[in-house]
Structure 1
Amino acid sequence: MSWADDLPPLDAYDELVEQPTPRLSVVPAGPSAGADDLPEPQPTMDFPRVSISDIYSAPSPEPAFIWAGRIPRGHVTLLGAHGGVGKSMLALQLAVAVCLGADFLGASTERGKVLFFSGEDAGPVLRHRLGHIAAHFNASPHRLAESLTILDGSDEPALYREVATFGVRTSEPTPGFNRLTEIIREVRPSLIIVDNASDVFEASENDRASVRGFMRQLRQLFPGGSEPPAMLLLAHIQKAATGGRHAESYSGSTAWHNSARSRLALTADREDPARLTLSHDKLNLGPRTAEPLRLVRSHTGLLMLDEGAHDAEGAPKEPPEDSLLKVLADFVERGERVATESSAHTNAWKLCRPEPGFPKRAYPVAGPLFSALRQMERDGLIEKESYRDAYRKDRTAWTLTAKGWERIGKSAPSAPSASSYDENAENAVSLGGAPSAPSYGVGGVGDIARTDEGANLPNPTLAETTTPTDEGAPGTCPRCDGEGCSFCQPKEAIK
Structure 2
Amino acid sequence: MTSAINTVHNFQTLMTALGVAHVKETSPSKGNAVNSSGVNQQVKCGTDPYRICSDGERTNHLTKLAGKWIGEGKEIQVVKLMALGWNASNTPPLDHDIVTSTCEGILRTHQNNHPVARVGGDISLLFDLNEAKVHNMICNPPPQRKWLLNDCLPYGKVGMIIAPGGTGKSMLALQLSVSLATGDKFVDYWEIGEVGASLLLFGEEDTEEIHRRLHNVVASLGQTSPTKISDIESRVHAKSMTGIDNQMTRSLPAGSVTLTDYADRLILTANQITNLKLIIIDPASRFRGGNENAAEDTTRFVESLERVCQQTGATVLVLHHANKISQSAGEANQNASRGSSAMTDGVRWQMNLSRPSKEDARKSYGIPENLRHNYLLAAVTKNNYGPPQNDVVLMRGEHGILHVSNEHLSTPKPEEILIALLKSETAAGRVYSANAFEKQFGGEQKTFKMGILAVRKLINAAIARNLIQKQRGKTGVLKIIDPPIQNVR
Name the CA shift for 1:218/1:224 in 2 (closer, same or farther; >3 Å).
closer
351, 360, 382: which is aligned to 1:282?
Answer: 382
Normalising by structure 2, what TM-score? 0.51
- Does the CA contact (< 8 Å) of 1:160 and 1:171 recur in 2? no
Separation (CA, whole Å) in 1 of partners of 2:133 and 2:145 = 18
CA distance in 1, matches of 2:245, 2:393: 32
1:301 Cα deviation from its structure 2 partner: 0.4
| Partner of residue 182 from structure 1, selected from 265, 268, 274 | 268
Match of 1:383 in 2: none
Task: Pick from 191, 195, 217 the counterpart of residue 278 of structure 2.
Answer: 191
Residue 63 (structure 1) aligns with: 145
1:303 partnered with 2:402:
yes
1:75-97 deviation line (CA, Å, top 9, x unaligned): 11110000000111111100100
Please state how far the C-alpha of 1:300 moved relative to its aligned partner: 1.7
Distance in 2 (alpha carbons) for counterparts of 1:157 and 1:310: 43
In structure 2, C-alpha distance between the alignment counterparts of 1:246 and 1:142, rounded to whole Å: 39
CA offset digits 1:205-250 (Å, max 9, x no partner): 111111111111112113647xx21111100011222333478221
Q: Decide whether the 8 Å contact of 1:157 with 1:176 is kept in 2.
A: no
Letter of the aligned partner of 1:281 in structure 2?
Answer: T
Question: CA contact under 8 A between 2:249 and 2:259: conserved in structure 1?
Answer: yes
Q: More deviation in 306-315 or 258-267?
A: 306-315
Structure 2 residue 318 is matched with structure 1 residue 230: no
What letter corresponds to residue 96 of structure 1 in structure 2? V
Deviations 1:355-400 (CA, angstroms, capped at 9, x unpaired): xxxxxxxxxxxxxxxxxxxxxxxxxxxxxxxxxxxxxxxxxxxxxx
Question: Partner amino acid for 1:270?
Answer: S
**Which residue is equivalent to 1:273?**
373
Aligned to 1:111: 195
- The alpha-carbon deviation at position 142 of structure 1 amounts to 4.5
- 127, 133, 158: which one aligns with 2:217: 133
Deviation at 1:42, TM superposition (A): 7.7
Alpha-carbon distance, 1:182 to partner:
1.4
Q: Distance in 1 between matches of 2:375 and 2:170?
A: 16
What is the distance in 2 between the residues matched to 1:286 and 1:142? 32
Matches within 5 A, 1:328-347: none
Counterparts in 2 of 1:265 and 1:255: CA distance versus 1, 3 Å: same
For 2:262 and 2:405, how far apart are their aligned partners in 1? 39
Contact 1:241 1:247 (8 Å CA) reproduced: no
Distance 1:112 1:246, change over 3 A: closer
Contact kept, 8 Å, 2:157 with 2:309, in 1: the verdict is no
- Matched residue, 2:324: 239
Tell me if the contact between 1:77 and 1:232 (Cα under 8 Å) persists in the aligned partners. Answer: yes
Q: Greater share of helix residues, 1 or 2?
A: 2
User: 1:132 deviation in Å?
Assistant: 1.3
After TM superposition, give the deviation of residue 312 of structure 1 in Å.
5.6
Please show how residues 200-211 of structure 1 align to structure 2 within 5 Å. 200-211=287-298
Change (3 A) 1:51 1:287: farther
The answer to whether the 8 Å contact 1:185/1:223 transfers is no
Partner Cα separation in structure 2 for residue 254 and residue 309 of structure 1: 31
Q: Distance in 1 between matches of 2:294 and 2:380?
A: 25
Given that 1:238 and 1:247 are in contact with CA atoms closer than 8 Å, whether structure 2 keeps it comes out as: no
Change (3 A) 1:200 1:311: farther
Contact 2:159 2:347 in 1 (8 A): yes
Q: Who is 2:8 aligned against?
A: none
Tell me, in whole angstroms, the C-alpha distance in 1 between the residues paired with 2:350 and 2:410: 19
Checking the alignment, whether the CA contact within 8 Å between 1:193 and 1:232 is kept in structure 2 is yes
Q: In the alignment, does 2:147 pair up with 1:147?
A: no
**Maintained 8 Å contact 1:119/1:157:** no
What SS is found at the alignment partner of 1:128?
A: helix
- The answer (yes or no) to whether the contact 2:283–2:318 under 8 Å persists in 1 is yes
Distance in 2 separating the partners of 1:117 and 1:70: 23
Tell me if structure 2 keeps the 8 A contact 1:184–1:223: no
Question: CA, structure 1 residues 208+259, in 2 after alignment: closer, same or farther (shift >3 Å)?
Answer: same
Contact 1:76/1:232 (CA < 8 Å) preserved in 2? yes
| C-alpha displacement of 1:311 | 5.4
Q: How has the CA–CA distance of structure 1 residues 310 and 143 changed in structure 2, closer, same or farther, with 3 Å as cutoff?
A: closer
Q: 1:160 to 1:312 in 2, by over 3 A?
A: farther
In structure 1, runs of 5+ residues without a counterpart are 1-40, 318-495
- Compared CA separation, residues 314 and 191, structure 1 to 2 (3 A): closer
CA contact (8 A) 1:158 1:174 kept: no
Report the alpha carbon displacement of residue 261 of structure 1 after superposing the two structures with TM: 0.6
2:141 maps to a residue whose letter is: P
Q: CA deviation at 1:251?
A: 1.2
- Which of 251, 255, 276 is matched with 1:169 structurally? 255
Equivalent residues of 1:120, 1:154 under 8 A apart: yes
* 1:39-91 alpha-carbon deviations (Å, 9 max, x no partner): xx984422664443444531212321112223212211110000000111111
Matched residue SS, 1:231: strand
CA contact (8 A) 2:334 2:350 kept: no
Partner Cα distance (2:357, 2:198) in 1: 33
User: After the TM superposition, which residues 383-394 of structure 1 pair with which residues of structure 2 at under 5 Å, given as runs?
Assistant: none
Q: What runs of 5+ residues in structure 2 fail to find an aligned partner? A: 1-121, 359-371, 417-489
Name the CA distance, whole Å, in 1 between partners of 2:170 and 2:221: 17
Distance 1:281 1:312, change over 3 A: farther
Q: What's 1:458 paired with?
A: none
* Distance in 1 (alpha carbons) for counterparts of 2:271 and 2:341: 31
Structure 1-normalised TM-score? 0.51
SS of 2:318's equivalent? strand
Match runs of 1:322-361 below 5 Å: none
Match of 1:98 among 180, 184, 191: 180
Quick one: structure 1 residues 117 and 170, their matched pair in 2 at CA, closer, same or farther if it must change by over 3 Å? same
The residue number in structure 1 matching 2:76 is none
Equivalent position amino acid for 1:117 in 2: L
For 1:170 and 1:303, the matched residues in 2 are separated by: 40
Provide Cα deviations, 1:165-223, integer angstroms capped at 9, x if missing partner. Answer: 3xx12323345444322111211511111111011112211111111111111121136
Q: Distance in 2 between matches of 1:108 and 1:313?
A: 19
Return the match for 2:126 from 32, 35, 45.
45
- Please state how far the C-alpha of 1:107 moved relative to its aligned partner: 1.7
- Structure 1 pair 308–118 and aligned structure 2 pair: CA distance change class (3 A): same
Is the 2:378–2:392 contact (alpha carbons within 8 Å) kept by the matching residues of 1?
yes
In structure 1, what is the Cα distance between the partners aligned to 2:241 and 2:230?
23
Residue type of the partner of 1:45?
Answer: L
- Tell me the distance in 2 between the aligned counterparts of 1:299 and 1:137: 12
Q: What SS does the corresponding residue of 2:190 show, helix, strand or coil?
A: coil
